[in-house]
Amino acid sequence: MLRRTFLMLAAGVATLGVSAAAVSAQELPKLKQKDKYKVGFAQTESNNPWRIAQTESMKAEAAKLGYQLVYTDAAGSAAKQVADVNSMIAQGVDLIFLAPREEKPLIPAVMAAKKAGIPVILLDRNVDQSLAKAGKDYVTFIGSDFVEEGRRAAEALDKATNGTAKIIQLEGTTGSSPANDRRKGFEDYIKNKPGMKIIASQSGDFARDKGRQVAETLLQAHPDATAIYAHNDEMAIGAISALEAAGKKPGQDVQIVSIDGTRDALQAIIDGKMLATVECNPKFGPKAFETMARYAKGEQIEPWVVNTDRFFDKSNAKQLIADAY
Ligand code: AHR
C-alpha cells in the first residue's frame, strides 16, 4: 500500500516536470530580505468558522505589512489545492503558506514549489513525514499538537463520566493530519480505561451537516451510546442536532467533547449541551508572517513552531465567548 502510494506520488511529481531524485537532492529554497513580498496562501476550504477565522487572520496580517497576498480556496479538493499551488508558482510568489488538506496528496505541491525555488511554510496541517521533511522540503510546520488535543478531550470525558462511556467518534477529513492525530491521542488515552469504549467511528469530514448525518446514522445503530467525541466543533454541533432529532438530551443523555473553540461550541457549553472543547487556535497571521521574516533573515527555523491551546468548559466559556469566532 505504502509502495503504491509512493509510486503514485512520484508519478504526480514527475507530471509536474520534476524527477523525485532531483527534488530530494535540492537544498531548501532561501528567501531574500525585501520590504514587500508577494505571498501565496493556499486554503483547504471555507465551509466552517475555523477556516474563515484563519483566512481573515492571514489576510489582515498581510494587509498590515503591505504585502500582496495571492489567496486560493481549494473548496475541499486536494487535487484543486495542488493546482492552486502550481498556479502560485507560475505567478512567481516569493513564499507559499500551505494548509495541506490531506497528508499525502499535497506532497507533489510541496516538491514542485521546492523545485521552483519557492519556500513553503505549512500552516495548521502537516504532510506525511515519511515523504517530506521540515528543513529539507519545506521550511517548517506551524500548528497545534493534535495528538495532545485528542488526549485532552479523552481526559475531560474520563473525568466527567468516571471512566465509563460508550463513545461514538466523529472523525475529521480522512487522511488529514488532525484526523489521524486527534484519533491517536484519544484512542491511546482510553486504552488504559477499561470502561471507556469506542462503539462506532466514522468520518464527518470536519463539516457540520456531514457530522449531523453521520451522527444520526450511528445513533440509530447504537442507541446505547453515552458519549460523542467529535474531531471538531462543527461536527459536534451537527451531532447535537442529531441527538435532539432522536429525542435525546445532549449534555445529559449523551456527553459531547470536541476540539476548536468556536463561538457556537462555547454557546453549547453555556447551554449545557456540550461538556468541553479543546482549543485549536486558527489565528495564524502574526505567527506565520513573523516566521517568514525570521527565515528571510537567515535564522534557523525549528521544524515545528508549536501553537499552544487553551481548554473551554463550563468554568470559563461564559467569560471567553465574547472573543470567540
Ligand atoms: O486543521 C485544523 C482543523 O481543520 C480544525 O479543527 C477544523 O475545524 C478545520 O477544518
Atom of ligand 1 nearest to the CA of 125: 1
Cα 232 to ligand 1 centre (Å): 7
Cα 50 to ligand 1 centre (Å): 6
pLDDT of residue 16: 45
pLDDT of residue 12: 46
pLDDT of residue 24: 45
Cα 186 to ligand 1 centre (Å): 16
Residues of the chain with CATH 3.40.50.2300: 2-143+284-307, 146-280
Taking alpha carbons only, the member of 231, 218, 213 closest to residue 277 is 231
pLDDT band at 27 (very low <50, low <70, confident <90, very high): confident
Cα 297 to ligand 1 centre (Å): 31
Cα 151 to ligand 1 centre (Å): 16
For ligand 1, whether the C-beta of 312 sits within 6 Å is no
For ligand 1, whether the C-beta of 226 sits within 6 Å is no
pLDDT at position 213 over 50? yes
Atom of ligand 1 nearest to the CA of 44: 10
Query: Which is the CATH superfamily of the domain at 2-143+284-307?
Result: Response regulator (3.40.50.2300)
The grid coordinates listed for 190 are 482510553
| For ligand 1, mutation pick of 123, 208, 260, 325 (most atoms within 8 Å of CB) | 260
For ligand 1, whether the C-beta of 259 sits within 6 Å is yes
pLDDT in tens, 215-243: 999 999 999 999 999 999 999 999 999 99
pLDDT at position 147 over 50? yes
pLDDT of residue 26: 73
pLDDT at position 5 over 80? no
pLDDT in tens, 78-131: 999 999 999 999 999 999 999 999 999 999 999 999 999 999 999 999 999 999
Q: Select 146-280's CATH number: 3.40.50.2300, 3.40.50.1970, 2.40.160.60, 3.40.50.300.
A: 3.40.50.2300
Percentage of residues in the chain having pLDDT higher than 70? 92
pLDDT in tens, 180-195: 999 999 999 999 999 9
**Mean pLDDT computed over every residue of the chain:** 93
For ligand 1, whether the C-beta of 125 sits within 6 Å is yes
| For ligand 1, mutation pick of 280, 283, 309 (most atoms within 8 Å of CB) | 280
Cα 34 to ligand 1 centre (Å): 32
pLDDT in tens, 246-288: 999 999 999 999 999 999 999 999 999 999 999 999 999 999 9
